[in-house]
Chains A and B, each alone.
Chain A
Amino acid sequence: DTAVSQTPKYLVTQMGNDKSIKCEQNLGHDTMYWYKQDSKKFLKIMFSYNNKELIINETVPNRFSPKSPDKAHLNLHINSLELGDSAVYFCASSRPGPGNTIYFGEGSWLTVV
């Protein structure tokens, strides 16, 4: 069983469209994250949720809206896609608190054309 799974793995879409990426973890973790890795491979945190509540929002444009229906799921919806949104989006999870390892999903490759 995949510990952190996200879908779709690849997504090609036109500018201006709206798209969603879904994420589920079966590790029993309370904390989930979205990270963005750009073309320069820099991995940057976007959002952090703990037990369905938003904890961290790293000044991400409000076109990005995360939703956590329960603590095992964290979805990412993106409105009005722009060329600069092209990146790999990683979902991840961990136990809450410092010192806990983050486990990543396989990533969703988003290309905006």
Chain B
Amino acid sequence: QKEVEQNSGPLSVPEGAIASLNCTYSDRGSQSFFWYRQYSGKSPELIMSIYSNGDKEDGRFTAQLNKASQYVSLLIRDSQPSDSATYLCAVNSPGGFKTIFGAGTRLFVKA
């Protein structure tokens, strides 16, 4: 089993729709969870971090964490063509010195 799993996509949504990205992780001791966005040819950049069960909202982005189910998700509301990118789920190991990334989900937002 991979340590961090994501659906590789591609996920295609129309402009203005909600994009839903999902991620599961295997280490129950993990405490910190991140979503990064990576445009083609660029480095990953942080969108959101979440540490507690429940929802965390930041503008058009909402991260959701369920530690019992070992599940993290990212919702993007009012999707824009500029949101088209690869979204990487990342999980920090309990020791804190190792952040493991999923394979990423490619998102296409059609104008």
Which residues from chain A sit less than 8 Å from chain B, CB to CB?
Answer: 31, 33, 35, 40-45, 48, 50, 55-56, 90, 94, 96-107
Interface centre among A42, A43, A44, A105 (most CB of B within 10 A): A43
Give every chain B residue within 8 A of A42 (Cβ-Cβ). Answer: 101, 103-104
* A43 B88 Cβ-Cβ under 8 A: yes
Give every chain B residue within 8 A of A98 (Cβ-Cβ). Answer: 31-32, 92-96
B86 within 8 A of A: yes
Rank and list the top 5 A-B pairs by shortest CB-CB distance, nearest first. Answer: A98-B96, A104-B43, A99-B32, A97-B96, A43-B101
Nearest B-chain residue to A99, judged by Cβ: B32
Give every chain A residue within 8 A of B31 (Cβ-Cβ). Answer: 98-99
* A99 B92 Cβ-Cβ under 8 A: yes
A-facing residues in B4-53 (Cβ within 8 Å): 31-32, 34, 38, 42-46, 49, 51
* B96 A99 Cβ-Cβ under 8 A: yes
Nearest CB of chain A from residue B85's CB, rounded to whole Å: 11
* B44 A43 Cβ-Cβ under 8 A: yes
* A96 B103 Cβ-Cβ under 8 A: no
Which of A43, A44, A96, A107 contacts B97 (CB under 8 A)?
A96
A96 to B97, CA, bound (A): 7
B60 within 8 A of A: no
A100 to B98, CA, bound (A): 11
B82 within 8 A of A: no
Nearest CB of chain A from residue B24's CB, rounded to whole Å: 16
